[in-house]
Amino acid sequence: MKPITIADVAKHAGVSKSTVSQYLNQRYDYMGEKTKKRIKQAVEQLGYSPNIIARSLKQKSTTTIGVIVANILHVFSTQVIRAIEDFCNDMNFHVIVCNADDDPVKEKRYIDMLRAKQVDGIIAFPTGGNVELYQGLINDNYPIVFMDRLIPGISVNTVLLDNEKASFLAVDHFVRKGHEKIGMFAPPIREKLTPRLERINAYKKALQLHHLPFHPDYLVSQEIDTMQEAVINMMEMPDPPTALLALNDRVLFEILTYTKEHQINIPGDVALIGIDDVSFAGFYRPALTTVAQPAFDMGKKAAELLLNQIGNKSGESAKEIYRFEPQLIIRESC
Amino acid sequence: MKPITIADVAKHAGVSKSTVSQYLNQRYDYMGEKTKKRIKQAVEQLGYSPNIIARSLKQKSTTTIGVIVANILHVFSTQVIRAIEDFCNDMNFHVIVCNADDDPVKEKRYIDMLRAKQVDGIIAFPTGGNVELYQGLINDNYPIVFMDRLIPGISVNTVLLDNEKASFLAVDHFVRKGHEKIGMFAPPIREKLTPRLERINAYKKALQLHHLPFHPDYLVSQEIDTMQEAVINMMEMPDPPTALLALNDRVLFEILTYTKEHQINIPGDVALIGIDDVSFAGFYRPALTTVAQPAFDMGKKAAELLLNQIGNKSGESAKEIYRFEPQLIIRESC
DNA sequence: CTGAAAGCGCTTACAG
DNA sequence: CTGAAAGCGCTTACAG
């Protein structure tokens, strides 16, 4: 039961390997009908299926791409991956998913592995820690697209959310509902990741536009593990906010854990909006008002951009930034 | 910037390709110190990294496995995938994830693609539709392990939940809480998928053990899209159940949507237990009592089994069924 | 201790 | 219309 190769097929059909190869690649231009049929039969009888590894070696293309996600725990990541896989499968590409866990060291290891495996291109949620590495790939004209995050100094096709608008949407809605004391919870900002930076800045800007003071105590940006206490502290201030914005789904989890444990009534005691449309938003009690990212469209776009780049290796592809519109989904939490 | 090969390194170091290859594969047995150092330098200066595709072709191993998941929308699947990836990455294996969408045709396409890509083995949540195909792989002694589902007639290492126990745990708890009218919602059973079959049967069996009558109207097994109405119908019966068991997370979503829309009080009006420990179980209002699958352990076990099979291609590996213990997590919904 | 040669399973000019 | 030959980038007996 050793695997059968193109040579076996050729022998069986009484033609040369070249001809079988032509047949397999649908280069029928001058192929005789009888030859075609003979090969077809041989392939079927032998149950032959080509060794893609061998083909890849020769063709210098693996029809595989790599996706390096910063943190698979975010819904956004999983949705984006799903979209990429769907698109790629339609285009007969495979995808290898890697989870960098927000760790530049892991990220580098994955990039190296993926390249060693000769993937045709990479879609990355860059951690921000491997700037030179990425720059090198770009200099080599290696197909790559960034997702979710801008890396200063690196010019590459990037698809991300219009984060400013996301915060605006939320703050505007809070204000419309009569809130003036609006708090925000975010993961640590020291990492200078685009979504955090932009959403926080826009939050401040939005307050300003509404002539609301920015109260530093109303903004918490720190590790998820200690977020619980932070929420408690903020809510136990003498004059706590009446509305809370969660920068992403993981932060939202923390806030929800707090509000549940302390029997806080939403939106009675505090109104709540989360960026990222979590799976349970619709049937949470109360249903959660969220700002949804069009994750599916974004993933698809990234895959499209990458496959295009892979397609025309020649031309310098334009390096653009694609901003996607978030959408406010009004439910009951505000 | 054309990629540099082992030949370049050899030239640069003034040795033969063979020697470089030995070096790269740590076969230093008789290698001179100076040679080693020279090669090391050449590798560094050139920034060489081996082409794994070429190596794979020669070695007949891609250090890549495929995972075919039945439906990526289940938390269970995503957790299992995560565990497999973690384990494989530790072992320097790559994984290609495919989502069959519960469709045997897609499943077959993926199996063919994965084999063509020469993956060293496959972990599958079998749809049940490609029995002969799987049997063929097994006959060829191709490394494979099944997850979550038993396929009658196919003998292969399989890891799955002790589904009977899962239902028992739930029903026992309902009874302990004084419930006698226990309903169950499940996806269609015509597909004869193990988890559904076993959980439903065990639900009936558990009722019997508690000397409770099995009321056919209390058991609904049908498509997710129409589950909403089914819930409504059951709950509007003259004598509706006082406790509901959701066979999996997707079913739970439907029940929760219903209970929310109809302002049903949990556990006051109905008690609720779901199999699968959903992400929001802890902070849902009320917090949800669930039966958790040890998805992480299960995924890891599957990966271990597969890599073992890949390791000793020679021996007929034993084909066993590994049952994992579910765990009742008591919270507030019952 | 190291190198020349064959070969993994394909594809692709090129010749006929 | 089809085939012989070279080559993709490695690894691996084997010889020396």
pLDDT for B167-188, tens place per residue? 999 999 999 999 999 999 999 9
Domains of chain B, by residue range, sit at 6-50, 62-161+296-324, 163-292
Looking up tokens 């994955």 gives A110
Pick among A280, A314, A331 to test the B interface (most B CBs inside 10 A): A280
Residue in chain B closest to A258 (alpha carbons) equals B283
Backbone angles phi, psi at B219, to 5 degrees: -115, 115
Q: What is the pLDDT of residue B313?
A: 64
Q: What is the pLDDT of residue A71?
A: 85
Q: Which of B116, B141, B278 sits opposite A49 (nearest CB)?
A: B116
Q: Which of B89, B95, B260 sits opposite A283 (nearest CB)?
A: B260
CB within 8 Å: A1 and B141: yes
Q: In sequence order, what are the beta bridge partners of A323?
A: A160
> Which of A130, A251, A259 has the alpha carbon at shortest distance from A199?
A251
Other C-beta atoms closer than 10 Å to the C-beta of B31 total: 15
Q: Which residues of A touch B260 (CB under 8 A)?
A: 283-285, 287
Query: With pLDDT > 90 as the criterion, what percentage of chain A qualifies?
Result: 75
Q: Which of B95, B256, B283 sits opposite A283 (nearest CB)?
A: B256
HSE-CB for B20 with a 13 A CA cutoff: 23
Query: What amino acid is encoded at A295 in this protein?
Result: A
Q: Does residue A314 carry a pLDDT above 60?
A: no
Query: What amino acid is encoded at B63 in this protein?
Result: T
C-alpha to C-alpha distance for A165 and A161, rounded to whole angstroms: 9
Lowest mean pLDDT, pick from A16-25, A171-180, A218-227, B245-254 = A16-25
Asked if the domains A63-161+296-324 and A163-292 are classified in one and the same CATH topology, the answer is yes
Instruction: State chain B's mean pLDDT as an integer.
Output: 93
Mean pLDDT throughout A74-91? 91
* Centroid of chain to Cα A261: 32
Mean pLDDT throughout A5-22? 89
Lowest mean pLDDT, pick from A214-218, A269-273, B90-94 = B90-94
Higher pLDDT, B27 or B326: B326
Q: What is the pLDDT of residue B259?
A: 95
Q: Nearest nucleotide by C1' from A7 CA?
A: C9
C-alpha to C-alpha distance for A184 and A230, rounded to whole angstroms: 11
| Minimal C-alpha gap between B205 and chain A (Å) | 32
Q: What is the pLDDT of residue B167?
A: 98
Mean pLDDT throughout B143-166? 96
pLDDT tens sequence across A71-80: 888 889 989 9
Residue A273, both tokens: 């909006």
Using 50, 70 and 90 to split pLDDT, how confident is the model at B318? confident
Instruction: State chain A's mean pLDDT as an integer.
Output: 93
HSE-CB for A226 with a 13 A CA cutoff: 6
Q: Does residue B75 carry a pLDDT above 90?
A: no
Lowest mean pLDDT, pick from A20-34, A124-138, B110-124 = A20-34
Residue A19, both tokens: 């001809």
Q: What is the pLDDT of residue B162?
A: 98
CB within 8 Å: B53 and A56: yes
pLDDT tens sequence across A233-256: 999 999 999 999 999 999 999 999
CB within 8 Å: B278 and A280: yes
Does the domain at residues B62-161+296-324 carry the CATH identifier 3.90.470.10? no
Q: Map residue A23 onto helix, strand or coil.
A: helix
Task: Name the CATH superfamily for B163-292.
Answer: Response regulator (3.40.50.2300)
Question: What global pTM score does this model have?
Answer: 0.91
Q: For chain B, how far is it from start to end, CA to CA, in angstroms?
A: 65
Residue in chain A closest to B94 (alpha carbons) equals A96
| Minimal C-alpha gap between B317 and chain A (Å) | 18
Does the domain at residues B6-50 carry the CATH identifier 1.10.260.40? yes
The contacts of residue A243 (CB under 8 Å, 6+ apart) are A174, A177, A179, A181, A182, A183, A270, A271, A272, A273, A334
Mode of pairing for the β-strands spanning B289-292 and B327-329? antiparallel
Lowest mean pLDDT, pick from A27-41, B161-175, B269-283 = A27-41
pLDDT tens sequence across B95-136: 998 889 899 999 999 999 999 999 999 999 999 899 999 999
Q: What is the pLDDT of residue A25?
A: 84
Q: In the structure, how far is the CA atom of residue B12 from the C1' atom of nucleotide C1, in angstroms?
A: 19
Q: Does residue A292 carry a pLDDT above 80?
A: yes
Looking up tokens 């969220």 gives A290
Q: Does residue B94 carry a pLDDT above 70?
A: yes
Looking up tokens 């096709």 gives A157
* Centroid of chain to Cα A203: 23
Using 50, 70 and 90 to split pLDDT, how confident is the model at A1? low
| Minimal C-alpha gap between B284 and chain A (Å) | 7
CB within 8 Å: B96 and A95: yes
Instruction: Please give the sequence-ordered ranges of beta strands (E in DSSP) within chain A, or none if there are none.
Output: 64-69, 94-99, 121-124, 144-147, 158-161, 182-186, 219-221, 243-246, 271-275, 289-292, 321-324, 327-329
Q: What is the pLDDT of residue B312?
A: 77
Q: What is the pLDDT of residue B316?
A: 66
C-alpha to C-alpha distance for A235 and A228, rounded to whole angstroms: 11
Residue in chain A closest to B95 (alpha carbons) equals A96
Query: With pLDDT > 90 as the criterion, what percentage of chain B qualifies?
Result: 74
The enclosing H or E element of B329 equals strand B327-329
Looking up tokens 């299960």 gives B298
Looking up tokens 């061998």 gives A54
Q: What is the pLDDT of residue B29?
A: 67
Fold of domain A63-161+296-324: Rossmann fold (3.40.50)
Higher pLDDT, B32 or B205: B205
Q: For chain A, how far is it from start to end, CA to CA, in angstroms?
A: 65
